[in-house]
RNA sequence: GCUCCGGUAGUCUAGUCCGGCCAAGGAUAUCGGCCUUUCGAGCCGACGACCCGGGUUCAAAUCCCGGCCGGAGCACCA
């Protein structure tokens, strides 16, 4: 009840200029699976398309063959599905080269673009000085001829580049004439092979596709602001109606590993267990740790799309996740750094522990017969003074005597009198290790019944929420958060 | 250097467009209390912010000017 109230309260602001349905897009490049940072644009777009109705396109931007992880073509849709993002239509830019070429030719005919054979470095230098290259203002026929030569493969990598004219005196040097097509002969594209040698650059293909898809609204990071300005030249030259652009702020994620090149390298070198290594900021890693997509969604809704730069807060994300997971997670005991103790003075004990303190999930029951041995956490046990009365939660009270506990009844009122409560694990408990987000590993024992919760997120009492797996026949937990 | 964007508590956010109801609301974190056979959840309380300086005004977080600080872009990456 309470939760609902808050979730309803925090909503995204309305999108400006909505007339009927909206058409929006997600435009990831297939360099790896999706990470937390990218989930923001996916969620926000999805939220708006669901709110107003319309179409959400997934446009895979694979126009740089040097930076493609072939598996990512499948991983991205999987990640989106996990996130609960409803994609209506998927397009892949490498299917659309012919479309880009058509517009490229038109622009040349209009005299709004040129092909320069001036080396990159010199071209850049001239641009910064606001000067044209010696071939910029050649007649369109000449440039069309060069274009055909580019397509025919008459130039080698770097020998010619297709540039969109803007304004060489634009006060912002980032906006002046920008490259739109380059020649790549030295790489094979994972989808189209060697079919093309002239590759569009991001600003060109994006502008064309945004128009072709008749987008109404484009959400993108503030880092794309200058790209938006650049793309506007294309829209203006062709007289196209522009979508509404919204640039949201930069998110810094301290201590979070997101860079695909770093991850790829780490996996290769065996430092990471894979794309879902719990130390990573990929969605796969979060899923592994039992972070729910709804928590991620709520987090980004909470943040909204302001243009302020923000710092990502794991605490806030965990809080949303805890809210979702707490009422669902079964409770178990996990004893790390285990120490064996024997309970004396009783020959039969029955532990009946509820799976959940408030939800009705039933009980787990363990029966013990003399000799009764259990595992406790050594660092907890060792700081308890000899002779103290303490309680083994849901089992019994004992008085500590060295490495043994003298049975002291089952009267709960001792807690009120200040007896410390510790948790334990049956002596026939199962080996388990828990992997923390920083890579640390806790080894110990857990209750045999945890096997029934493989695949679920559970709470190890006084330890935290973990998702449980079975790897090579052994229980492994991935720590989510406290 | 040039161009652009932005600055509300530790973090995120509401309010800023259309100045007063904001001596600034919510979440999270932290601390304390209650409750509880978990150091979880719940309940109660505390802590804590309008970048600075001028100006306009009866009145400014909100409008204007200047400064300071932070960020982004200036790739034949996306």
Which residue ranges make up each domain of chain A?
Answer: 20-95+206-320, 97-200, 341-426, 429-481
pLDDT surpassing 90 at residue A278: yes
For the CA of A94 and the C1' of B9, the distance in angstroms is 49
Q: What is the mean pLDDT of residues A133-153?
A: 96
The answer to whether strand B lies under 7 Å from the CB of residue A324 is no
**Nearest by Cα to A290 from A444, A450, A459:** A459
Structure tokens at A455: 């695949």
Q: First and final CA of chain A: distance in angstroms?
A: 22
Assign domain A97-200 to a CATH class: alpha beta
Tell me the nt nearest to A462, Cα to C1': B38
The answer to whether strand B lies under 7 Å from the CB of residue A248 is no
Alpha-carbon distances of A190 from A90, A92, A195, rounded to whole Å: 18, 12, 11
Contact A149, A155 (CB under 8 A): yes
Helix or strand holding residue A244 (H, E): strand A244-248
Residues above pLDDT 70, as percent of chain A: 98
Tell me the nt nearest to A416, Cα to C1': B37
pLDDT surpassing 90 at residue A280: yes
For the CA of A50 and the C1' of B63, the distance in angstroms is 37
Confidence of residue A48 (pLDDT cuts 50, 70, 90): very high
Residue A367 CA to residue A52 CA, distance in Å, equals 58
Q: What is the mean pLDDT of residues A196-206?
A: 96
For the CA of A481 and the C1' of B30, the distance in angstroms is 17
Three-class SS state of A327:
coil
Alpha-carbon distances of A253 from A313, A315, A384, A436, rounded to whole Å: 8, 12, 40, 18
For the CA of A311 and the C1' of B12, the distance in angstroms is 8
Contact A33, A290 (CB under 8 A): no
The answer to whether strand B lies under 7 Å from the CB of residue A169 is no
For the CA of A174 and the C1' of B5, the distance in angstroms is 15
pLDDT surpassing 60 at residue A3: no
pLDDT digits (tens, 9 = 90+) for A288-319: 999 999 999 999 999 999 989 999 999 999 99
Structure tokens at A223: 């880092």
For the CA of A322 and the C1' of B58, the distance in angstroms is 50
**Nearest by Cα to A174 from A228, A216, A93, A134:** A228
User: Which residues touch A139 (CB under 8 Å, ≥6 apart)?
Assistant: none
Contact A294, A269 (CB under 8 A): no
- What's the maximum distance between 2 C-alpha atoms anywhere in chain A? 102
The answer to whether strand B lies under 7 Å from the CB of residue A350 is no
**Nearest by Cα to A449 from A344, A317, A361, A320:** A361
Model pLDDT, residue A350: 93
Helix or strand holding residue A314 (H, E): helix A314-325
Tell me the nt nearest to A121, Cα to C1': B76
Cis peptide before A371 (omega within 30 of 0): yes
**Nearest by Cα to A205 from A182, A188, A226:** A182
**Nearest by Cα to A331 from A442, A423, A435:** A423
Residues 429-468 of A with CB under 7 A from strand B: 459, 461-462
pLDDT digits (tens, 9 = 90+) for A453-479: 999 999 999 999 999 999 999 999 999
pLDDT digits (tens, 9 = 90+) for A181-195: 999 999 999 999 999
DSSP A173-190: GGGSSEEEEEE--S--BT
Domains A97-200 and A429-481 alike in fold = no
The answer to whether strand B lies under 7 Å from the CB of residue A199 is yes
Three-class SS state of A442:
strand
Confidence of residue A54 (pLDDT cuts 50, 70, 90): very high
Model pLDDT, residue A300: 95
pLDDT surpassing 50 at residue A199: yes
DSSP state of A170: -
DSSP state of A333: -
For the CA of A69 and the C1' of B40, the distance in angstroms is 41
The answer as to CATH 2.40.240.10 being correct for domain A341-426 is yes
Q: What is the mean pLDDT of residues A244-262?
A: 90
The answer to whether strand B lies under 7 Å from the CB of residue A41 is no
The answer to whether strand B lies under 7 Å from the CB of residue A412 is yes
The answer to whether strand B lies under 7 Å from the CB of residue A183 is yes
The answer to whether strand B lies under 7 Å from the CB of residue A401 is no
For the CA of A276 and the C1' of B34, the distance in angstroms is 42
**Nearest by Cα to A146 from A96, A103, A105:** A105
Average pLDDT, chain A: 93
Model pLDDT, residue A409: 87
Confidence of residue A9 (pLDDT cuts 50, 70, 90): low
Tell me the nt nearest to A59, Cα to C1': B78
The answer to whether strand B lies under 7 Å from the CB of residue A172 is yes
Confidence of residue A90 (pLDDT cuts 50, 70, 90): very high
pLDDT surpassing 60 at residue A338: yes
Tell me the nt nearest to A199, Cα to C1': B76
Residue A62 CA to residue A93 CA, distance in Å, equals 6
Angle (CA) A410-A412-A417 rounded to 5° is 120
For the CA of A292 and the C1' of B8, the distance in angstroms is 30
The answer as to CATH 1.20.1250.20 being correct for domain A429-481 is no
Strand B nucleotides where any atom sits below 7 Å of a protein CB: 1-8, 10-15, 26-29, 36-43, 70-78
Confidence of residue A269 (pLDDT cuts 50, 70, 90): very high
Residue A208 CA to residue A350 CA, distance in Å, equals 71
For the CA of A17 and the C1' of B12, the distance in angstroms is 27
Annotation: CATH topology of A20-95+206-320: Rossmann fold (3.40.50)
For the CA of A65 and the C1' of B12, the distance in angstroms is 38
The answer to whether strand B lies under 7 Å from the CB of residue A397 is no
Beta partners for A424? A376
Q: What is the mean pLDDT of residues A384-391?
A: 92
pLDDT digits (tens, 9 = 90+) for A401-459: 999 999 998 899 888 888 899 999 999 999 999 999 999 999 999 999 999 999 999 99
Q: What is the mean pLDDT of residues A5-30?
A: 80
For the CA of A180 and the C1' of B52, the distance in angstroms is 44
Model pLDDT, residue A232: 94
Tell me the nt nearest to A65, Cα to C1': B77
For the CA of A175 and the C1' of B13, the distance in angstroms is 34
Model pLDDT, residue A1: 22
Model pLDDT, residue A11: 81
Model pLDDT, residue A191: 97
Residue A263 CA to residue A282 CA, distance in Å, equals 10
For the CA of A377 and the C1' of B32, the distance in angstroms is 29
Interface TM-score (ipTM) > 0.90: yes
């Amino acid at each position: 009840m309470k939760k609902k109230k808050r979730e309803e309260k925090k909503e995204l602001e309305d999108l400006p200029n909505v007339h009927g349905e909206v058409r929006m897009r997600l435009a990831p490049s297939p360099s790896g699976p999706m990470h937390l940072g990218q989930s923001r644009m996916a969620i926000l777009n999805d939220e708006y398309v669901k709110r107003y109705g319309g179409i959400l396109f997934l446009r895979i931007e694979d126009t740089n063959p040097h930076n493609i992880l072939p598996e990512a073509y499948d991983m991205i849709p999987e990640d989106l599905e996990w996130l609960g993002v409803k994609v209506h239509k998927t397009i892949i830019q490498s299917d659309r080269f012919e479309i880009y070429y058509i517009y490229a030719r038109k622009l040349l005919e209009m005299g709004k673009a040129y092909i320069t054979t001036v080396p990159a470095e010199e071209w850049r230098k001239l641009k910064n000085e606001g000067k044209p290259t010696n071939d910029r203002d050649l007649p369109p026929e000449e440039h069309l001829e060069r274009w055909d030569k580019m397509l025919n493969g008459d130039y080698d990598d770097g020998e010619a580049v297709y540039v969109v004219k803007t304004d060489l005196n634009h006060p912002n040097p980032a906006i002046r004439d920008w490259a739109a097509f380059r020649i790549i002969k030295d790489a094979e594209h994972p989808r189209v092979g060697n079919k093309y040698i002239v590759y569009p650059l991001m600003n060109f293909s994006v502008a064309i596709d945004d128009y072709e898809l008749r987008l109404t609204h484009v959400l993108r990071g503030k880092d794309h602001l200058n790209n938006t300005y650049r793309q506007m030249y294309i829209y203006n030259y062709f007289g196209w109606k522009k979508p509404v652009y919204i640039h949201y702020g930069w998110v810094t994620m301290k201590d979070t590993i997101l860079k695909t090149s770093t991850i790829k390298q780490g996996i290769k070198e065996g430092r990471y267990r894979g794309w879902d290594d719990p130390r990573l900021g990929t969605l796969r890693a979060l899923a592994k740790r039992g972070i729910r997509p709804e928590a991620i969604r709520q987090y980004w809704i909470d943040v909204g799309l302001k243009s302020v730069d923000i710092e990502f807060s794991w605490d806030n994300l965990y809080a949303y996740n805890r809210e979702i997971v707490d009422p669902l997670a079964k409770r178990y005991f996990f004893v790390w750094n285990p120490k064996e103790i024997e309970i004396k003075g009783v020959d039969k004990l029955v532990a009946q522990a509820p799976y959940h303190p408030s939800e009705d999930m039933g009980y787990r029951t363990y029966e013990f017969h003399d000799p009764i041995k259990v595992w406790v956490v050594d660092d907890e046990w060792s700081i308890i003074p000899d002779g103290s009365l303490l309680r083994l939660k849901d089992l019994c009270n004992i008085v500590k005597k060295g490495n043994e506990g003298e049975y002291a009844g089952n009267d709960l009122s001792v807690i009120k009198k200040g007896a410390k409560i510790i948790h334990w694990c049956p002596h026939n408990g199962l080996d388990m290790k828990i992997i923390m987000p920083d890579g640390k590993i806790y080894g110990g024992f857990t209750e045999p019944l945890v096997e029934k919760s493989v695949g679920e997120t559970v709470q190890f009492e006084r330890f935290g929420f973990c998702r449980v797996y079975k790897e090579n026949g052994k229980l492994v937990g991935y720590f989510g958060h406290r």
